[in-house]
Amino acid sequence: MPLSRRSILAGGAAATLAAGIPGFAHAQATPKRGGTLVATWGGFEPQALFVPPGGGTSPFFTSTKPLERLLALDQQLKWQPVLAQRVEPAADFRSFTVHLRRGVTWHDGKNFTAEDVVFSAMQYWKPLSVGVALNALTATRALDSHTVRFEFDRPVPEFFFNSVLAGQGGLVIPKHIYETGNIVTNPINNTPIGTGPWKYKEWVRGSHVEYVRNDNYWENNKPYLDRLFIRWWRDPASRLAAFESNALDLGCFNPVPMPEVDRLVRSGRFAADSRGYESSAWCSTIEFNVRKAPFDNRLVRQALMHAIDRQLVVDTVFFKRGRPGLNPILSANKLFHTGDVPKYDFNPAKAAQMLDAAGLRKGRNGRFSVNLLAAGWFEENGKIGQIVQQGLEDVDVKVNLSVPDRPTSLKRIYTDYDYDIALSNYTAPIEAVPVISQYYVSDGIAKGVAFRNANGFHTPAMDDLVARLTVETDPAKRTALAHEFGRQAATEVPFLPLVEFDSLTVARSDVKNISTGSNWMGETWADLWLDR
Amino acid sequence: MLRLLRRRLLQGVPLILGVIIMNFLLIQAAPGSFLDVMSAESQVSDPAMLEQLRVTYGMDQPVWLQLVKYIWSVARLDFGFSYRQNMPVLDVILASLPATLVLMLASLLIALLLGVTAGVVAAVKVNTIWDNLLSFLAVLFFAAPSFWLGIMLTVLFAVKLGWVPVGGMMSITAANQGVLDVVLDVLHHLALPAMALGLFYAAVYARVMRAAMLEVLSLDFIRTARAKGLGRWRVVLAHGLRNALLPIVTLFGLQFGTVLGGSIVVETVFSWPGLGSLMLDSVSSRNYPVVLGVLVFSSIVVILVNIAVDLAYLRLDPRIRAR
């Protein structure tokens, strides 16, 4: 996907999306000004409204309303200008020139300039929020008040660079606020000052944060709403009750229990939409610890995949809102996903044959024993663990299933490597490097570091493939490399998505312009309006 | 009375020390640390940075040294620093404490009023339909899990009838209201969680009160009071109730701690921003300083309440004072 001045300008018009679900038609009507919206998500209150190193989904949700990024990726996976008006790569792709929007002010009235972007890139993105993805960044220079050049020590694909600018770690922070003291512990993180459409007003811990309209926002007439509340209910059933009692207008990322979604939609007062998560699609994964026998044998890993009824997982655990996973680059990723990979249909007889062929014949105590760990951060993982246990035991593999809580799971998987098979999760952005690729390469092995290569798998061929994917600047060749990466990953099976599951946004039917981005929960919501 | 107070306070010191040591060691023994959670949430990709964080939070030191340092800092009322909230632990606790105290006191008040009343009525109307009905309700509320009760109360009173809000401690517009409006708003929000938490304890009090009242009402001094011609309810309330209250007072002291524990579930269901929610968050993120702080803090509160109960005995039962 090439991104240049041309592609940005071409995609500059607002995306008009097909309306697949009643109530979520992306409104063609003239938006109405005013009103208050109460929103939530399917998780807890953040530890701070803005957590510079990341901090997970909750602070991402709250920080992206007052703070903005340079670019956004729309639902059709086209780049849209935000604080950057255009991005121009050098001919050798070792530098990029970013032309910034003029006339933008911070919420405290100071002007937004190139110095803010230079500071954000070198003091915040590279050391804190983006990390290894910006290893090749050597310098960021302000060419004038609204032009910045990013310099790299190797060629950088344009899509990769834009993904950083539009990514979760790419928020632009004000230099004049953060240049003194520690960015991570700055108290301003709880009263964020940005350029975005929403100005912080109040955070009542344990209850809600209130944002009010930024009357000086750079985009005319936006935001449409006057006030935005993000409120937290810890319990999904309580969120459901809040919807039904009109205390809640909108919830992102599965706010209510899955079986209740259809009932809400049938009432006609609510709608549910699975769009808006293309760049933050979730999956449940299976991970084989290849340090241990017999999981160091590819044939065994493939055999065990055949023993698991993944459609049963989709049907019973996710209430049919998902699909078996094929490729670590998930199917929501229309740019880099391919279905042309080895597939592991549910076939216990074949699994048994393959295990026999691997020399693991059935004995008095079965074929072998497995220490199966289902990470306890999602309730669903424990249920998946039971289905996997059942599948493996049907091919005479003894299973010891444990579902430890989040900190214990993290320690056992990523620090102690204390598992044979782990059931975990990841959320995948469109750009596969490094978030997805790091699970398969030697560079990704870092003891104690979460959501990296804990399984110990690496081969020279995969290392080489990912190295080429990292620097390939030709979009067509890069797509082909990404497809090859998916094929190799699905062949080797050290770590694969078991199922991809849908994330849902639920909202009252009169809330308009929902799900308009590829990671909509983290968009600014300047174009949200109420038809009341 | 002062001597008793001094003695009880002195006895509380080793108790708190024991609580600190035991909880500190238990938490150390739990697998996983806040660095694991921090690394996962913040996608820390550099092992060197993790090591730096271990040093920053003193986790590179021996456990015994960490414990000694912690005891010393608690002695100076310094409960440590919460990396997660980026605030001193004491400030974090004090921010959540009022919500929990309001919920606890309201639910205990409901429990006392309903429980004592139901127990007295059941004892006076023993073996009647009233006794059976109240006993049935007591068993029902005793058996019903508070999270289930909370959801059922929400569905009925918040969703179907719309009488009370679904959750939270106050309306999101409360900041723009006057003090009286805020108080009424909080009471409005308090009704369901206080009921969900209080009904369980009301059931306990009702059973204990019924038994105590039956015992007291069969004693000679009650018969004497009746023989003197006192009215039925005067005998029950002025003579019977006062003498039957001692077990309830004991129970109140003992249950103060368990109400605090029970509030974790109720606060979760009703999004009540108290110590229960804080504790749940802190345990799941292995935020040791806050977990320890809340445990030590609640131990102190429970010890103080039990001292107050001891003093209440003196007031309620002159025989104890004579000893």
Same domain, B50 and B103: no
Domains held by chain B: number? 2
In chain B, the residue whose alpha carbon lies closest to the alpha carbon of A411 is: B32
Determine the Cα–Cα distance for residues B53 and B61; give it in Å rounded to an integer: 12
Q: Which of A345-354, A420-429, B23-32 comes out lowest in average pLDDT?
A: B23-32
pLDDT, tens only, A415-468: 999 999 999 999 989 999 999 999 999 999 988 888 999 999 999 999 999 999
Contacts of B86 in chain A (CB under 8 A): 47-48, 185, 187, 189-190
C-beta separation of A231 from B166 below 8 A:
no
Same domain, B298 and B198: yes
Same domain, B50 and B194: no
Q: What is the pLDDT of residue B321?
A: 62
Q: What is the pLDDT of residue A36?
A: 96
Nearest CB among A235, A247, A412 relative to B165 is that of: A247
Q: Which residue range(s) make up the domain with B252? A: 92-322
pLDDT, tens only, A33-69: 999 999 999 988 898 899 988 888 999 999 999 999 9
| Per-residue tokens: A212 | 């009010």
Same domain, B14 and B135: no
b/e map A319-354, b = 16+ CB within 10 Å: bebbbbbbbbbbbbbebbbbeebbebebebebbbeb
Which residue among B59, B89, B119 closes a domain?
B89
Same domain, B107 and B250: yes
Do the Cβ atoms of A407 and B166 come within 8 Å?
no
Reported confidence tier of residue B316, pLDDT bands at 50, 70, 90: confident
Res B51 pLDDT > 90: no
Q: What is the pLDDT of residue B306?
A: 83
Nearest CB among B30, B41, B99 relative to A56 is that of: B41
Same domain, B63 and B154: no
pLDDT, tens only, B102-137: 998 899 899 999 999 999 999 999 889 999 999 999
Determine the Cα–Cα distance for residues B232 and A468; give it in Å rounded to an integer: 93
Same domain, B199 and B76: no
- Predicted structure pTM score: 0.85
Res A5 pLDDT > 60: no
Q: What is the pLDDT of residue A8?
A: 38
In chain B, the residue whose alpha carbon lies closest to the alpha carbon of A210 is: B172
Beta carbons within 10 angstroms of residue A376's beta carbon: 19
Same domain, B79 and B186: no
The residue-averaged pLDDT of A353-377 equals 95
Same domain, B112 and B83: no
Coil/strand/helix, residue A233: coil
Same domain, B271 and B175: yes
C-beta separation of B70 from B19 below 8 A:
no
Question: Min CA distance, A160 vs chain B (Å)?
Answer: 18
Contacts of B166 in chain A (CB under 8 A): 233, 238, 241-242, 245, 247
Q: Is the ipTM of this complex over 0.85?
A: no
Q: Which of A79-83, A175-179, A201-205, A437-441 comes out lowest in average pLDDT?
A: A201-205
Q: What is the pLDDT of residue B311?
A: 82
Question: Min CA distance, B274 vs chain A (Å)?
Answer: 8
Res A10 pLDDT > 70: no
Q: What is the pLDDT of residue B43?
A: 65
The better pLDDT of the pair A189, B53 is held by: A189
Q: What is the pLDDT of residue A424?
A: 96
Same domain, B49 and B125: no
Q: What is the pLDDT of residue A24?
A: 47
Reported confidence tier of residue B46, pLDDT bands at 50, 70, 90: low
Beta carbons within 10 angstroms of residue A227's beta carbon: 18
- In degrees, rounded to 5, the angle at the alpha carbon of residue B207 between the alpha carbons of residues B203 and B212 is 140
- Name the most confidently modeled range: A195-199, A446-450, B83-87: A195-199
Q: Does A21 touch chain B (CB under 8 A)?
A: no
Do the Cβ atoms of A207 and B168 come within 8 Å?
yes
In chain A, the residue whose alpha carbon lies closest to the alpha carbon of B277 is: A206
Q: Specify the CATH number for the domain of residue B121.
A: 1.10.3720.10
Q: Which of A108-112, B43-47, B182-186, B226-230 comes out lowest in average pLDDT?
A: B43-47
Q: What is the pLDDT of residue A520?
A: 95
Reported confidence tier of residue B153, pLDDT bands at 50, 70, 90: very high
Which residue among B89, B118, B149 closes a domain?
B89
Same domain, B85 and B96: no
Q: Does B246 touch chain A (CB under 8 A)?
A: no
